[in-house]
Amino acid sequence: MRRSVLISLLLLGLAGLAAAGWAWLFKAPEPAQASSFAREQRQDLRWGGAEKQPVPVVIANAVRKDVPVYLDGVGTVQAYSNVTIRSRIDGELVEIAVREGQDVHAGDVLARIDSRTYQAQLDQAQAVRARDEAQLGLARLDLQRYIGLGNRVPGQTVDTARASVKQLEAVVKVDQAAIESARILLSYTNIVSPIDGRAGLRLVDRGNIVRAGDPGGLVTVMQMRPIVVMFTLPQQVLVLINQEIGRQGKLTVQVGDSVSRAVVDRGELVVVDNQIDQTTGTIKLKAVFPNAELRLWPGAFASVRLLLTTSVDVIVVPASVVQRGPQGSYAFVVRSDQTVEMRPITVGLIESEEAVIESGLAEGETVVMDGMARLQAGAQVRVGGGTGKGGGTGKGDGTGRRAKPQP
């Protein structure tokens, strides 16, 4: 009985300690803490409110200038010309005259095939022609002799001699054609490059027997100056592209680095494909670039920008100025008394972090480009980081980053 009473008292004591700990853990904040919390909330509500606490912002000026309009796409770099060098005759490959990766010109010898057999065929054809030419000369002398004898020689004999001369003349022409054929085959023993370009990896080594029907070839030569970029754009812009081609004649295309977006080369649009890809809804386009520094390489992916047109003398502000609400786009315009106005605007396009404003802003007006989170109509503002003009980003901190307003 005593043991049960002790256990009950022990349990009651533990329950009391637990209740005390729970009350201490979740006790209400002290008046000083509560007042500090309220002050912080009131401080947040004061920005631009009834107490007219100025809101620090970064501003920019609306400017009037020309803005290029680009169409962006992704393309693949291809060689302007790609030739697989193959042998036109059968024979032993006795020399590889080109190094892998070497720049070659049209007419440069790339490889040589054993020419002795083809030289012998040429010599034989020339000998046959010499024999037939000798017979032709003799036949012509006989014909002249028969004609000189006049009536003392039967007419049939003269006709036979004349036919013999014509026959041998035809034989000599056949011999000449055989010589030309043999000479062409002999020239094929020197395998030359048909274009200017760069040689690829060697596919056959010296000493192999090559044949005219070999599918693999000896080496590939790619023309890389100039070079081609094939890219695609949505079919919806095809009408605009055709209109600008008809108006300008040629459209400029620039290709940029896929990482840094820096311009690598500039060229021109040369071909718009004659059909739309129904599976993707895109149109293929072809642009040619000089590639003087060989910064574009066949097979690489490229970021392509087609300069469609240029918007002339338009109002431009930084893209961060444009805000969007239930009623559409608007901007905070700074008035002369350093208060802001929420003004509806119409945005034409946004290009390279710049927004073209079709209506709602005038040249020279000051707009807020950073710090809009605490703004409301009529709020007082304080410039706290510099100003930008025509899409500028304000004063920096020396690190390439935009300076943040200080409260």
Task: Look at the block and give the residue holding tokens 């006709």.
Answer: 159
43-55 pLDDT, tens digit each: 444 445 445 688 8
Task: Look at the block and give the residue holding tokens 């003349």.
Answer: 169
- Give me the chain's average pLDDT, please: 84
d(CA 196, CA 104) in angstroms, rounded, equals 6
pLDDT at residue 1 is higher than 80: no
Question: Quick one: CATH architecture of 115-188?
Answer: Orthogonal Bundle (1.10)
Q: What is the pTM of this model?
A: 0.68
Task: Look at the block and give the residue holding tokens 């300008």.
Answer: 248
**CB contact at 8 A, 368 and 375:** yes
**So where are the chain's domains?**
51-85+223-407, 87-112+191-217, 115-188
**CB contact at 8 A, 105 and 198:** no
CATH classification (class only), 51-85+223-407: mainly beta
SS3 282: strand
- The average pLDDT across 5-27 equals 56
Q: What is the pLDDT of residue 293?
A: 93
Neighbouring CB atoms inside 10 A of 247's CB total: 9
The residues that bridge with 382 in the sheet, in sequence order, are 56
87-112+191-217 against 115-188: fold identical? no
pLDDT at residue 258 is higher than 90: no
Q: Per-residue DSSP letters for 64-130?
A: EEEEEEEEEEEEEEEEEEEEEE--SS-EEEEEE-S-TT-EE-TT-EEEEE--HHHHHHHHHHHHHHH
**CB contact at 8 A, 374 and 332:** no
d(CA 361, CA 330) in angstroms, rounded, equals 10
Instruction: Band the pLDDT of 357: cuts 50, 70, 90.
Output: very high
Fold classification of 87-112+191-217 (topology level): OB fold (Dihydrolipoamide Acetyltransferase, E2P) (2.40.50)
**CB contact at 8 A, 337 and 300:** no
**Rg from Cα positions in the chain:** 44
Q: What is the pLDDT of residue 365?
A: 92
Which range has the top average pLDDT, 6-15, 278-287, 378-387, 389-398?
278-287
Lowest mean pLDDT among 35-39, 122-126, 238-242, 268-272: 35-39
User: Of 386, 314, 312, 315, which Cα lies nearest the Cα of 62?
Assistant: 315
Instruction: Give residue 327's identity as a one-letter amino acid code.
Output: Q
Tokens representing 232?
């695609």
189-223 pLDDT, tens digit each: 999 999 999 999 999 999 999 999 888 899 999 99
